[in-house]
Structure 1
Amino acid sequence: MLAGLAGDPASPDHGTVERLRHRLLHAPAPPDHRVFEEVHASLLEVLRRSPKVIVVDRVQWMDDASLRWFAYLVRHLAPLPLLVVLGVRTDDHFPAREVLDEITAQAFCRELVLGPISLDSVRAVVARSFRQSAIDERFVTLCQKATGGVPQILDRVLQALLNHRLPPEAATPEQVEQILRVCARIEADSVASRLARQSARLRELAEAVSVLGRAAEPPIVADLLNTAPEEVEGMRPELARIDVLDDAPRGACLTVRTPEIRSAVLHSLSERRRQLLHLRAARRLGDYGAPTTRVADHLLPLDLSTLSPGVRRWALRTLQQAAEEALTGGHTRPCAEYARRALREEVTDEQRARLLCLLGRSEALHAPRAAARHLDEAISLLIRPEERAEAVLELWYAQMVQHGAFAESVLRLPSGLPPRHRELLDAADTTDTDLRTRIRALARSSPSDAELIPQPSLGAPPGLSEATGTRAVLESFGALLPAGLGVPGVTPAERELLAACAGDLACRAESRETALELASRALAGTAGCGAPSIIMLLRCTAVLSWAGTLDAATSLADTLASCDVPVRSVPQVIAHCLRADIAVRRGDLATAFQEAHAAQSLAQATESEDLSLLPLALKARAHAVSGRYEQALRLLEGVADMPASMLGVRGWCRLSLGDTKSALIDLLECGRRLTELHIVNPALSAWRGGAALALTELGENALARQLLDEELELARRWGDCGTIGQSLRAAARITTTASARVALLEESVRVLEGSGARLQLARSRVSLGRAFAAGGRLLPAREALRAGISLAEECGAKLLVERAHKDLLGCGGRMRRSPLSGPASLTRSERRIAALAATGQTNRTIAQALQVAPGTVEVHLTRAYRKLGVSGRNALADALAGVLVGEHEPC
């Protein structure tokens, strides 16, 4: 202040004030009242010549002597032409608060509390920072809200956004999220800076609460600080005042206000202090009976080798128990963390085996290859037969997941699994009912009753051949009993068995009703999120899809997607694949491509090469179904060792493009592999129909007829309308008599009208129209072709529409002109979904009501917006005025 008063060296007061300032700087002791009077006298001399304004910011950082002089000055301020402005943060540490209180108590002192700057001011600051950019008003509003209108924080946020080259926009959730993250980090830095200026005791409390994480109970915090809970409660308001803790009532848990603030506080700790606090927190939480997982969280960052032997043994026990609890609760990621941390230490073989089992089971859904490796090592270390058998089951389930959830890999054990007969037979005397039931479930997935493993192996016990060893396993655990006999479906193991039996019946194309009943019973309980439960859900979904109950299958795929697993995990990929497969069966090609693309994007984040094939196969299949065979084949180029169903897709594409011999090779190889697995149901792959068409073109009519008769017999035996209709259409293609061809196609249309396979119905109607035209029956031909074209348009099968339209023109007909826009141009599905959206329902609610995927709702709404000429759902009600939607109209 004195330096400011001295002013220009030419001024008359300069020498006097400078001498006084020099004296103060070199004073041997803190100045007393005589110095105050001398400074006051110098100030009076200056003020006689001109008024002055003294502005001091951050008064809370001022030294005690200077602050006391300002209090002295204020007491004598009344007759002076002087304005004193003192800026102070009320949420900062202020040792001399009583002196400030004395200043504010003066009658002529006015206290001003600064509020947030206005929206207009924020807009002006943003415009000044982003001079060359158009300003999004949502961005301005978000900046004011996120920064609280504090200019300093606003400047730092805008500078950070400029540094990251982020535009001044808040149009998408991603942009909003980025801005909020930047604001949170800057606020955390500011709070950490204020905390660093507080007393040591306050800093220790903030550190203890940050280390404890979540909600820290006052008694535990007090114990951690070796103090009384009353002292903790006394310091709570101070930390809330500087925005470190949430403002909560006395006795409530202490919580750091944001995760970013907690991270900033932890970052300020030295490594040694952080380790000490985590260890003390773990011990105190254990003493207070906290959940084991919470205790283990504090052991994860510790260097256990520095602990005493007793504490180290306790830490390892705690980590193992926490892993078991996490896995039981379906929390696989934490389970893997605890197990991996314990495995980094020196442990006994028994401990290592159990930890490897926990790690393998937790990894099965997001790292199945690693899971198989860890479970295989665990089996070699385990001693108890029951534990070894349990590990074998988990190993096989992990490898089934690893194979990418192709239907043939889910319903049947994949080939190449390691032989484990000895481990299973060693557990034959177990009294563990669940274990016996689970082994029966897995045995039901074997290709045949006499062959648990599809390929020869060396796993049979001494004195038993491979087949005899497998038979012994099956008989020992009652796996040869009739499907579902006496299984109540109460326990998870029993539900696994019911799903396996349902899948076995579906593979053999036997008793569709029984398979559906078993699947329904398997789904009656609450499904878990481990590999066995996921496989159970996949098996049931396959059964429902093959049986033509597509709404129920969609609902089950949504259930799989909602499992408590990471977003980029195997179940999430498979859920999208299931939705794509169901959409193909429905004939909803737009949704099929959308779901397959989503699955492919997620699959890239997984370690399973086999899993990445599944969305690729579904994309190729969707292209093939829509008639784009070249695109389908391009997708499949370079794929080695294709699964059987993928070979079938390639075979059909080659057949459609005229490469008959290559198509026949693919289709017969597909059939050979599926037959080896005892999968005869044409609902998975209509390889017989394709091979029959190829054989017909090559002149092998008798063999072609035999294959098609077999396919039609199996389809009728299974009973799904979609599969029967497709087989009837294939049979019609090789029938030489016109009347028989028409009869088969009429039956195909009649059967498909009772199914949800809309594209199959469109194909059969078009084929029937062509058959009518070939026989000279032009009127029914035109009607059938028009009906087929209309349905194909709804499905998005543009090539089928084009070809059928040429046929229609060839028999003297033309499509009745349909409106290109307006409500009348909507398809039934678009009209119904748009009407529901107009009532304010969300996409998810509509999807649940209609039992379709949310992506399907989005696709239909997008089309409806375009046809109605509106920009969003808010305008749908007016656009649809007067349009009635039948309550029971199918989507």
Structure 2
Amino acid sequence: MATSVLLEREDELLVLRRTIQAAKDDAKGATILVEGSAGVGKTRLLKEAREVAHALGLQVLAAYSSELEQEFAFGIVRQLLEPVVGETDSQQRADWFSGAAETAEAVLGSGFASHPAGGDYAVLHGLYWLVSNVASDSPVALVIDDLQWADPPSLRFLAYLVHRLEDLPIVVIAATRPWLSDDNNRLLDMISTDQATVHLRPYPLSLEATNFLVDGTFTKEGTEADEDFVVACHDATAGNPLLLHQLLQVVQHEGIEPVGKNASKVLDLGPQAISRYVSSRLRELSQSSERLAESIAILGDGVQVAVAAEHANIPLNEALRSVQDLSRVNILAGVAAKQVDPARVRISFVHPLVRAAIYGRLSPHTLMLAHGRAVQVLMASGAETERLGVHVLQTLPSGDSDVVRILRKAADEALHRGSPDIAYSYLRRCLAEPPPSDQRLEVLIQIGRCAQLLNLSGSVEPLREAIELSKDPVQRAIISSQLAGALQFLNQIPEALKVQKVGLLEAHDEDVRRYLAAGMLANLPFDPGHKDLISYADELEQLEFREGFGAGALESMLAMVRSWQGNPVGLDHARRAMLNEQLSTMNGEIFLTLGVWQPLLAGDCEEVFPLLDEAISRSHRTGSVRALAPATDHRGLGRLRQGYLADAEADLNVGKRVIEAANIQIGRPFNGSFRADLYMSQGRLDDAQEALQWSRISGTNDPGAAYFVLLSRARLLRLKKQFNPALATAFQAGRRFSAHSGSNPAMVPWKSEAALCLMALNRLEEARQYAEDEVDDARRWGASRALGRALRVAGLAIGNCENGINLLMESVSVLAKSPARLEYAISMIKVGTALYHQGKVREAQEYLRRGVELADACGAAPLVKNGTFALKETGARPRRINLKGPGSLTPSEIRVAELAAAGAINREIAQSLFVTVKTVEVHLTSVYKKLGISSRAEIAGKLIPTS
């Protein structure tokens, strides 16, 4: 069988060997995905890869997936890592789990950690550093078979890892069958579509190879196969090596001669070759062997002989003989002849298709009974509760209190490991059992919390029932708020408001009432036109300031409302909310995002960046994937507005991957529009178009953040010189923003965008009106970035007269005092161009030079090109741009430089900033160049103190 699989696999073997060699010699990580139908030879290629990796001295960590264990939290990760962690000494283990890797302890068996993992993102980050630490001792090959059946938490980790392999001596080699590209398989899609993933797709065997194998089979018997018979074998199996091997076994076993007249028999046998082979061989063996095979199919590959024997209800000695018999007829994989304790030998089928053939022979009723018995047998053997839960999921509800206990404990263990999705599956099944009446409320609440991290629609009905069951007014109010939050994100705003109003009527605790009131205001971004909520905000603003989570949430929502309206009092509310530490620790992402980060960013407030840094850090330490996305996206937006385009791109790319991994649909409009604006500033219009398509906003009946996408779409259309569609889209963005009571140009500058489109259409009077209106709005808000932009557009709309020049000069003056470097560069180039047309050449050249230098520092290639062209028109020769000194460092470079100056090594810096070691190396190289130094020892003397 091995020879047949390796036929015509020379190209695949060459890629495997080269990739593994590169991981060893060059610390060049990679992912290889071996894709193909069952039986095409993927497993044999993985076996060859393991042997090559072993021979080259790599640590080989292997795992295989099965359909049965998809609900086993981090099952694949544990198969990969538990053996190597368990076999090492305590000192080595302590080193591996040091620093950021600490959160990975909770994943790897009960013996490695006594504390919960925290949020799911903290677990992914910890596992990444654990694998990185293991690989620092010796290069690692992670080899995984049947990836399509991997449990979702393990897939999330692999999706996290493959994006960060570039600088690690790690090669991931996984085999998978084809899958549908839909939301259920988005994690496989993320792994598959990563730009560094290498795809191997072994083809079916050719007719020539089939002929070679058929001849080899019958030559031993002194018989030569007819050509028609060989063609029939090839057609019957479509060149699939495993099916061909099994077909030939059946042909031999049934005494079918390899002659042309038997071709039709072969064609009939082909599709059923494996099940026919398995059934015929089992009939030859004892009933004990058949029962044992069925028990192994139920319990899953890797089960101990003693456990399988107990499940099959046969004596151990008889089971050991059956193992040998089943191995002899190529149903079970062979096991070592000598074992210290034969009862603990782990047994598996030769191929998943063989297990599927045996499992498929059993009736649904028999399967349920068999899985029920598996629970009892595994419980008696001391198996983990989660492993028991896997089998409970295959049984029908029966009101069994033991089943409820198992499922609740399995859910707790899954949560302990940072796997809310697996916990959700157990809890849903627990609810169906059902639990005793005194436990039902707890189960419902826990289901609701898990679902809110995964699939908001799945939280609605459990939370509704929990409200009905709860007798505690405070608890009912809190559950009502959770339910309303889910309904908001599901765009069921009238229903959310109804739930909140009922909760508000029932709540007696003042802080809870403020929390519910804040939740009502939070409906504004999702559904326009609720003028009554604006009036309600006016009433709430009169309340006396207090401490507490509810009070902080209310301050943040008042900040949102006022900031959207362009009222600078919104910043006062945001700063009060910013001081409320409970917002950061009690799942307050929506309040932080809408009511703290967005207003402070719109106000050009530098204090927002430490808040965002801490939110990102908290997500890595203890937070969830859902908590990380808004923080990285808004830090990316902040850096974009400041003109640090490379830093912005790094953050927004992280946000994009997180949104995809966690399926956070509500995050797409924010991230998509922010990335589109970034790409447009870099001149990457095709990428901008793709980002806007990724946002999944059509412009009609979309959630509130659609106005961000619409404005970005208008800008893109204008840059593509499609001015009429651009203008219509800008107006659409304005209507949507206004419907949400928005008028602040620091958030959605739709009037200046419309003015630019109108100028392009030569509708100058209209352009001036919209531009001047935005200047008025921006002056009322008071932040320099928005005002500087509005003044610049107004100056351009008026033209190269004295009034126009004055507005452009005021724009430069305003932006010179702001952190908005890119807007400043644009305004300087526009002033320089206008001054040149007035004949003020020397003055124009100075503005143009400074603007081009700053645009280059920002990474805004189109602006550099335009400014350089304008400078050449003045007769000046552009000088070489070579920015130096501490002021040229980006925020990311400054953070790396400060840590390096304090004595941290690259790995420690990477763990502290949640980036790869390679990223740290790139930043340090840039720091050395900009500061004119050659070592980290010189950094401290060159840096400008930041505090």
Asked if these proteins are the same fold (TM beyond 0.5), I'd say yes
1:492 Cα offset (Å): 1.7
SS in 1 for 2:619: coil
Question: TM-score w.r.t. structure 1 length?
Answer: 0.58
Structure 1 position 856, deviation (Å): 12
Provide the secondary structure at the position in 2 that maps to 1:817.
coil
Q: What RMSD over aligned residues (CA atoms) do the two structures have, in Å?
A: 5.4
1:441-456 matches, within 5 Å, as 441-447=518-524, 454=528
**Structure 1 residues 529, 306: CA separation in 2 closer, same or farther (over 3 Å shift)?**
same
Counterpart selection for 2:581 from 525, 529, 553? 525
Cα distance per residue 1:649-702 (max 9 Å; x no partner)? 010121233211101111111110111111211122211101122234445444
Q: Output the CA distance in 2 between the equivalents of 1:172 and 1:784.
A: 59
1:355 aligns to 2:355 (yes or no) = no
- Which one of the candidate residues 505, 511, 532 is aligned to 1:434? 511
Q: Distance in 1 between matches of 2:751 and 2:610?
A: 28
Which amino acid in the other structure matches residue 820 of structure 2? Answer: A
- Cα gap change, 1:180/1:748 in structure 2, threshold over 3 Å: closer, same or farther? same
CA contact (8 A) 2:386 2:410 kept: no
1:598 maps to 2:654? yes
One-letter identity of the residue aligned with 1:632: A
Cα distance in 2 for residues equivalent to 1:267 and 1:586: 64
Q: Which amino acid aligns with 1:865?
A: T
Per-residue displacement from partner, 1:363-415 (whole Å, max 9, x unpaired)?
Answer: 22333343346445656777888766544421332355x47xxxxxxxxxx67
Judged with a 3 Å threshold, the aligned counterparts in structure 2 of structure 1 residues 322 and 666 are, in CA distance, closer, same or farther, namely same
Amino-acid identity (%): 21
Distance 1:669 1:831, change over 3 A: closer
Instruction: Tell me, yes or no, if structure 1 residue 574 matches structure 2 residue 630.
Output: yes
Number of the residue aligned with 2:498: 421
Match of 2:845, SS state, is: helix
Q: Deviations over 1:127-159 (max 9, x none)?
A: xxx99996988999xxxxxxxxxxxxxxxxxx9
**Which amino acid in structure 1 is aligned with residue 725 of structure 2?**
S
Q: Deviation of residue 585 (structure 1)?
A: 1.0
Correspondence for 1:668 among 731, 737, 742: 731
Q: CA deviation at 1:788?
A: 0.8
Deviation at 1:811, TM superposition (A): 0.7
Which residue is 1:163 aligned to? 50
Distance (Å, rounded) in 2 between the aligned partners of 1:359 and 1:179: 25
The change in CA–CA distance for 1:817 and 1:636 in structure 2 (over 3 A counts) is closer
Deviation at 1:731, TM superposition (A): 1.1
**1:163-242 superposed matches below 5 A:** 163=50, 166=53, 185=83
- Tell me the CA shift for residue 543 of structure 1: 1.8
Instruction: Give per-residue Cα distances to partners, 1:255-287, cap 9 Å, x unaligned.
Output: xxxxxxxx98989746769747859999xxxxx
Q: Select the structure with the greater relative contact order (CA < 8 A; seq sep ≥ 6).
A: 2
Q: Is structure 2 residue 551 aligned with structure 1 residue 494?
A: yes
Q: Does 1:679 align with 2:739?
A: no
* Aligned match of 1:485: 543
> Which of 499, 502, 508 matches 2:565?
508
SS in 2 for 1:675: helix
Partner residue in 1 for 2:802: 739
- Tell me: CA distance 1:598–1:753, structure 2 relative to 1, closer, same or farther (3 Å): same
Q: Which residue of the partner structure matches residue 173 of structure 2? A: none
Structure 1 pair 557–360 and aligned structure 2 pair: CA distance change class (3 A): farther
The residue type paired with residue 689 of structure 2 is L
Q: Distance in 1 between matches of 2:673 and 2:61?
A: 31
**Distance change >3 Å, CA 299–CA 179, structure 1 → 2:** closer
Equivalent residue in structure 2 for 1:793, among 856, 861, 884: 856
> Is the 8 Å Cα contact of residues 441 and 496 (structure 1) preserved in structure 2?
yes
Query: For residues 848-859 of structure 1, what are the structure 2 equivalents within 5 Å?
Result: none
For structure 1, list consecutive stretches of 5 or more residues without a partner in the other structure. 1-129, 141-158, 192-209, 217-262, 283-293, 404-413, 457-466
Alpha-carbon distance in structure 2 between the residues aligned to 1:277 and 1:602: 37
Rg comparison, structure with higher value: 1
Match of 1:552 among 605, 608, 629: 608
After superposition, what is the alpha-carbon deviation per residue over 1:607-631, rounded to whole angstroms, capped at 9, x for unaligned?
3444344433222111122343454
Amino acid at match of 1:689: S
CA distance in 2, matches of 1:132, 1:579: 36
Query: 2: distance between equivalents of 1:306 and 1:629?
Result: 55
Q: 1:424 to 1:843 in 2, by over 3 A?
A: farther
Output the amino acid matched with 1:827. S
* Aligned amino acid, residue 856 of structure 2: E
- Aligned-pair distance for 1:711? 1.5
Aligned to 1:827: 888
> How big is the shift at 1:164?
6.4
Query: 1: distance between equivalents of 2:916 and 2:85?
Result: 42
| Aligned equivalents of 1:841, 1:876: Cα separation in 2 | 18
> Does the Cα contact within 8 Å between 2:401 and 2:436 map onto a contact in 1?
no
Q: TM-score, normalised by structure 2?
A: 0.55
Structure-2 change in CA distance of 1:637 and 1:534 (3 Å): closer
1:276-287 to 2 correspondences below 5 Å:
none
C-alpha change, 1:184 and 1:382, in structure 2 (3 Å) is: closer
Contact 1:711 1:727 in 2 (8 A): yes
In the alignment, the residues of structure 2 paired with residue 630 and residue 422 of structure 1 have an alpha-carbon distance, to the nearest angstrom, of 44
Any conservation in 2 of the 1:654–1:663 contact (CA below 8 Å)?
yes
CA distance, structure 2, for counterparts of residue 808 and residue 736 of structure 1: 20
Residue 671 of structure 1 aligns with an amino acid whose one-letter code is G
CA contact 1:188–1:264 (8 Å) conserved in 2: no
| Distance change (3 Å), C-alpha of 1:699 and 1:438 | same
- Residues 844 and 888 of structure 1: CA distance in aligned 2, closer, same or farther (over 3 Å): farther
Contact 2:398 2:433 in 1 (8 A): no
Please say if residues 624 and 632 of structure 1, whose CA atoms lie closer than 8 Å, have aligned partners that are also in contact: yes
Residues 775 and 864 of structure 1: CA distance in aligned 2, closer, same or farther (over 3 Å): farther
Match of 1:865 among 915, 920, 925: 925
- Residues 810-852 of structure 1 show CA distances to partners (whole Å, capped at 9, x for unaligned) of 11212333559xx789934498678646634457987999xxx
Query: CA offsets per residue over residues 81-101 of structure 1, 9 Å max, x none?
Result: xxxxxxxxxxxxxxxxxxxxx
SS of aligned partner of 1:562: helix
Distance in 2, matches of 1:398 and 1:613, equals: 18
- Give the whole-Å Cα distance in 1 for the aligned partners of 2:540 and 2:88: 70
- Structure 2: 5+ residue stretches without partners: 1-16, 28-45, 63-75, 90-107, 115-300, 312-372, 700-705
State the match for 2:871 in structure 1. 808
CA distance in 2, matches of 1:354, 1:776: 78
State the one-letter code of the partner of 1:481: E
1:498 to partner: Cα distance: 1.5
Cα distance in structure 2, aligned partners of 1:584 and 1:313 = 53
CA 1:342 to 1:693, structure 2 compared with 1: closer, same or farther past 3 Å? same
Question: Can you list the C-alpha shifts for 1:432-461, whole angstroms capped at 9, x where unaligned?
Answer: 33331112112333549xxx96469xxxxx
The whole-number CA distance in structure 2 between the counterparts of 1:869 and 1:215 is 44
Alignment size in residue pairs: 626
- 8 Å CA contact 1:135, 1:168 repeated in 2: no
Q: Deviations over 1:572-592 (max 9, x none)?
A: 233332232122112111122
Q: Is 1:397 the equivalent of 2:485?
A: yes
Instruction: Tell me the equivalent position of 2:279.
Output: none
SS of residue paired to 1:481: helix
Instruction: Give 1:708's aligned residue.
Output: 771
Contact 2:412 2:423 in 1 (8 A): yes
> How many angstroms does 1:361 deviate by?
2.5
Aligned match for 1:770, one of 833, 846, 866? 833
Q: Is the 8 A contact 2:401 2:435 kept in 1?
A: no
Task: Determine the C-alpha separation between the residues in 2 that align with 1:431 and 1:772.
Answer: 66
Q: SS of the counterpart of 1:428?
A: helix
Q: Is 1:887–2:944 an aligned residue pair?
A: yes
Distance 1:388 1:729 in 2: 53
